[in-house]
Structure 1
Amino acid sequence: MASAYSTSTVAEFGGSPKRSRRMAGILDTIAERGEVSLADLEELFGSSAATLRRDLTVLSDQGLITRTHGGAKAAGSLAEMPVALRDTRFQDAKRRIARAAAAHIPRERHAIALSGGTTTAGVARELTGHSDLTIVTNSLSIASLAAAYPRLRVVMTGGLLRPQSLELVGVLAEGTFNAINVGTAILGADGFSAKAGVTTHDETEARTNHAMVAKAQRTIVVADGSKIGRVALAQMTETETVSMLITDDSADPEELDRLRELGVTVVIA
């Protein structure tokens, strides 16, 4: 992207869930088409031109798009949705996936590693009823959420903060994951395919998450159906290292069959 997304601007991404969903949809449309007119956006979203211009101004101010005469176009890569907007997408599916993932975590003494992402944050919320659970994470959002529950022990990595995902990455984060052993790694993804494995948009984030998975006894991928069959820039881990995928019924059934053939247990939430 042309500029980094700042956590101080979270409030600017929509004063309401409806506006945030619309802005996420605008980014999706521009990512797909490359360029879009204001008239097209009016037809797609049923909003007024004045409303859409305000949305485009916010997205442009954050360097996510470039305004054009009568519309907007992509500014660099729109592959990675800012975390403030990601939370508004596929909410029902993510809640079901999170509940299903939590059901596969033992309630007795257990250590679990969680990568960043809105789906893994949902898993963390579902785990707040567990006791004697250690959560290891490089996500500021997940660490803050879990820290409010005294029965959960939280281990936070160091590292360089990625403002797009609010994750700590790099050698300090990798060093923490390399130094510990966990029973389960819960891995979010920007893409998961039989051929390319589990992928994400940022190569540094991929290396950090690879370190997390390498020391886990098992790895569970949590990803809504839009991520299945999709391939992002950098591989976090190969398909063969994944024990289980938890997704929803919108996932491509043929890709799910290919994953099953490689030994991945597929759970539809």
Structure 2
Amino acid sequence: MSKHERWNALLELLASAGKVEVEEAAATLDVSAATIRRDLDELAEQRLLVRTRGGAVAHGVSYELPLRYKSGRHAAEKARIAAAAAELIAPGEVVGLNGGTTTTEVARALALRFAGERAESGTPTAASGPALTVVTNALNIAAELAVRPQIKLVTTGGVARPQTYELVGPLAAGVLGEVALDTVVLGVDGIDPEFGAMAHQEEEAGISRLFAERASRVVVVTDASKLGRRAFARICGLDRVDLLLTDTAIDAGTADRLSEAGVRVLTV
């Protein structure tokens, strides 16, 4: 197991349990305790955890993993959710995408879908103009879509957060205040039947809230592990969410509570 794989596994353990014990982690990952101690020390230097005697702990209501460590979690579920989300978008729509692993998959699915439709039509891309307009505050999504001629890309300004590659702050808010969206596809860190859609970080929640306010339709995309779970900052209430796209691991009780709150729940 490489160092990166060990770090990913340790952060996954920390995200699920809130703490990591050296001896237990060493047994789980089948490496020496000394190796785990070194890994935890290096992760602590990057401020990804807090070292304790015998292990490490995480802070906060819900632990925020940097995006580069989250991309492999529930990958198959996110791919199915993204494909379903892309099918909801009609040609010519203006679509908002905030940051996150699932919305990144949605961006890729949109690029493939509309490239395929353009190829089947036999119409040259340059002559017919963009098939879709995407507005995003996520640098990684912008980098992927900038090379797609069938998509008109609009990015917000703002200050970049290294954990999620999202642009936040007054510059991002200023751009969103000047646009109108047909659909926004929101990635979230938690969905709570009482508090609604939530994010780990308040500035990101504020920008995602603006996305929701500027859109005619709000689609939340998340794997079932985030349902019934709270994060630190509220994005919007469930009354603002038109559709929740998730995977089949959602439990019946959570699905019922969300439906009672007026949210249409679609599982894939």
TM-score by length of 1: 0.86
Q: Secondary structure at the match of 1:260?
A: helix
Aligned to 1:26: 13
* Secondary structure class of the residue paired with 1:204: helix
In structure 2, the partner of 1:90 is 74
- Does the 8 A contact of 1:191 with 1:198 survive in 2? yes
Which residue is equivalent to 1:180? 179
Change (3 A) 1:249 1:51: farther
- The answer for the alignment partner of 1:65 in structure 2 is 49
Q: Does the 8 Å CA contact 2:6/2:29 hold for their aligned counterparts?
A: no
Q: What is the Cα deviation at residue 227 of structure 1?
A: 0.6
What is the match of residue 126 of structure 2?
Answer: none
Q: Which residue of 1 aligns with 2:27?
A: 43
- Higher alpha-carbon Rg: 2
| TM superposition outliers: structure 1 runs of 4+ over 6 Å | none
CA contact (8 A) 1:65 1:72 kept: no
Give 1:125's aligned amino acid: R
Q: 1:170 — aligned with what?
A: 169
Q: Structure 1: 5+ residue runs without aligned partners?
A: 1-13
**Residue type of the partner of 1:266?**
V
Indicate conservation of the 8 Å contact 1:194/1:239, yes or no: yes
Unmatched 5+ stretches in structure 2: 115-129
Q: 1:185 touches 1:212 (CA, 8 Å); kept in 2?
A: yes
Distance in 1, Cα, partners of 2:152 & 2:102: 20
Distance 2:192 2:12 in 1: 24
Q: Say which of 38, 51, 57 aligns to 1:74.
A: 57
| Cα RMSD, aligned residues only | 1.9
CA distance in 2, matches of 1:68, 1:76: 12
Q: Write out aligned runs for 1:247-266 (5 A).
A: 247-266=246-265
- Mean alpha-carbon deviation: is it higher for 95-104 or for 250-259? 250-259
Q: Secondary structure at the match of 1:180?
A: coil
1:115 aligns to what?
98
Shift of 1:138: 0.3
- Is the CA contact 2:10–2:25 (under 8 Å) kept in the aligned structure 1? no
Which whole-Å CA distance do the structure 1 matches of 2:49 and 2:202 have between them? Answer: 22
Deviation at 1:235, TM superposition (A): 0.9
Q: Which moved more, 1:133-142 or 1:85-94?
A: 85-94
Counting only pairs closer than 5 Å after superposition, residues 89-238 of structure 1 correspond to structure 2 as: 89-106=73-90, 108-129=91-112, 130=114, 132-238=131-237
